[in-house]
Amino acid sequence: MSIIDTDARNLADQYAALVQGKHNNPFAILGVHRSGKQRLVRTFLPQARQVTLLDRNGEVLCDMQRVHADGIFAAIMPPRMRRYRLRVTDYSDTSGDYEDSYAFAPTLGALDLYLLGEGSDKAIYTKLGANALTLRGITGTRFAVWAPNASRVSVIGDFNDWDGRRHVMRLHPGNGIWEIFIPGVGTGAKYKFELLDLNGVLLPLKSDPFGHYFEPPSGNASIVFESRHQWRDGHWMQNRRVVPDLNRAVSIYEVHLGSWRRNPYDSTRYLTYRELAVELIPYVVEMGFTHIELLPVSEHPFDGSWGYQPIGMFAPTQRFGDPDDFREFVDCCHQSNISVILDWVPAHFPRDEHGLGEFDGTALYEHEDPRKGAHADWGTLIFNFGRREVVNYLIGNALYWVDEFHVDGIRVDAVASMLYLDYSRKEDEWIANEHGGNQNYEAVGFLKRLNTELHAHGAVSFAEESTAWPGVSHPVDAGGLGFTYKWNMGWMNDTLSYLSEESVHRKHHHDKMTFGLVYAFSENFVLPLSHDEVVHGKRSLLERMPGDDWQQFANLRAYFAGMYAHPGKKLLFMGSELAPREEWDHDTALNWELLKSKPHAGIQLLVRDLNALYTRVPALYERDFSADGFEWIRWDDKDSSVLSWIRRDASGGFIICVSNMTPVVRHDYCFGVPRAGTYTEILNTDNACYGGSNICNADVVCEPITHDGRPYRIALTLPPLATLILACAD
């Protein structure tokens, strides 16, 4: 009886476990192992009719012996030979030569495992997930996944007939990471992870948490992808600052890629990333915006979530192309001097069974207790910010977009839901922190670390945070959360509420237009007119405006100009410049036909002119976050519903802004100005080119008469429902 037969009898239980898919460490018996004085090669290939052992050059050594009826083969390894190949012939007599995954040693070194276990690997995506490797001259893909409570983890894919017995992974028990190198697998291969829980129960198949590319639902397989993009934005990247320049102009065009514009010949087909680079970027440049902000592009199964319920956080959605197509889009933005911001969702994730929920049969990425781990409002799960591996996953993801895709900023969604343990919960539905309060200290620590890392990598960060949490955009070392900017949700709510009032009633709500200046310099604010304000029955911006058709357009024009003249960076959701009457619909393209109508085209022209003026006049952006850059002239003229103020730049220059928020023309409206000279309208929203009534002012020479506590006075005709911006020529 041969040594192979004897060995097979001794390994009967392990062979049975292999065949049944229950073996959790095939590396212990497959590949090359010593048996007595000999070395044996074993392989498990259930699809094989015959397996031939080859040397490294492909020369035949011998046919391997079938030692188990269900496809386990073995052969004696020649002395001093270290490498081999397998020629596999299946039952259709198709043959191919293959490298054996079980012939390769672990690919994660001691330092890799230490950093992953510590939760401090900033390039975690290069260790976990599917990453191309060349080992001993053999190309393939290293698959690695964190699943500490699984009893067995396999990679299944179109390269192994989706058979979970074929590529069972090696466990690193110190930190629960499983890995395997599969030679010959490369870009385009589809795969998933098959896991058994601690009790050996088969779990739902899982997509790769670090997958770089996904197939469309309902398949949801991850796809191996190796980037071949050659970046052309070296100068841009060299000039990114570790310390953000808060004195620069920031005018953001917020975009949902699937509904900005559709294919003109097929309205059901999205434009690709590369088509958007050709069409969207020139439009943004023409309109004068400095930044594009994208609603989340990370992979998500449901179109109606707009990307805010991501499954593949490391994958640009396949809806518009592959990851290199998205790299090309960002590259083209930079070559056009446009910064790119991504909306990013670390607050929660969906319950889809192929996602992160109960990934290894336990609450791994989420909290086990639903009082901490579930959002009842959204039907989603909450990341466990107290677990170092989860924090490493999220921070690694943010840095992945910054480093691998060159994005310039991250806008963090739903920050308030992260900061408060009782967010949208009833009294008995949350757990207090160790001091009995509602602050989520773990989330606070995560956000501070996130912002520190983002700034160190040359990126900026934006917080969508709707409460009065102190210091959201203050530096971490000063006790803040460390965001670069915070969305000013209060300004947005107050001003839209004011604008929705009939003009005759606005004097009773005047404080809604002035209150924002009480706290305007407490944070680095962005003024956001975002997608959230034109959906879910809130109506479009135009439809919120009262009055007849003319008054609605005039109100919107006055509002946009007042926004650009107000302290704070600017954000406008796509399509707002078209002034649609309908709410935004993610399933259809913007209605570009509106531009055939003069009032709608006038709004677009105004936004373009506002951006041009904004980026040209430092007083409109240079001291956004300093009280020295703003001064009321008259904030208290509520009976006339007129507001007037001064914006100043760092070198002493200034402009004057006046908003008349009633449809009444006000002749000889006097107010004080700080300097002698001739005052010229540099923007008037009532200009005929914008669709207004064309009540404009010629150059006005100020009078040396004290007014409003200032040494000089000017008198203007204020057009109805209009904002004026004036500059002084000494």
Q: Are 702 and 676 in contact (CB under 8 A)?
A: yes
Distance CA 572, CA 252 (A): 6
Contact 320, 369 (CB under 8 A): no
Contact criterion met (CB below 8 Å) for 187 and 224:
yes
Fill in the amino acid letter for 324: D
Q: Are strands 251-255 and 291-294 parallel, antiparallel or unpaired?
A: parallel
Q: Tell me which residue of 549, 574, 577, 573 sits closest to 561, measured CA to CA.
A: 577
Could you tell me which residues come within 8 angstroms of residue 119 by beta carbon, excluding any fewer than 6 positions away? 388, 389, 391, 392
Q: Identify the DSSP state of 202.
A: B
Bridge-based pairing state of the strands 177-183 and 129-135: unpaired
Nearest to 410 by CA among 419, 418, 402: 402
- DSSP of 360-417, one letter per residue? TSS-SSB-SSHHHHEETTTTEE-B-TTSHHHHHHHHHHHHHHHHHS---EEEES-HHH
Q: Confirm whether 464 is a catalytic residue.
A: yes
Distance between CA atoms of residues 613 and 262, nearest Å: 31
Residue tagged 């008198």 (tokens): 715
Q: Which of 308, 332, 335 is nearest to 411 (CA)?
A: 308
CA distances from 672 to 107, 244, 683 (A): 73, 36, 19
Cis peptide before 218 (omega within 30 of 0): yes
Beta bridge partners of 707: 710
For the chain, helix, strand, coil in percent to 5 are 30, 30, 45
Please give the Cα distance from 248 to 622 (Å, whole number): 6
CA distance 676 to 704: 8
**Whether residue 93 lies in the annotated active site:** no
Q: Collapsing DSSP states into helix, strand and coil, what is residue 623?
A: coil
3-class secondary structure, 145: strand
Distance between CA atoms of residues 700 and 715, nearest Å: 8
Catalytic residue, candidates 7, 413, 533, 622: 413
- Name the catalytic one among 343, 389, 464, 624: 464
- Closest by CA to 101, choosing from 140, 150, 156, is 140
- Please enumerate in sequence order all residues whose Cβ is within 8 A of that of 355, keeping only pairs 6 or more positions apart, or say none: 206, 207, 311, 349
Q: Which residues are catalytic?
A: 413, 464
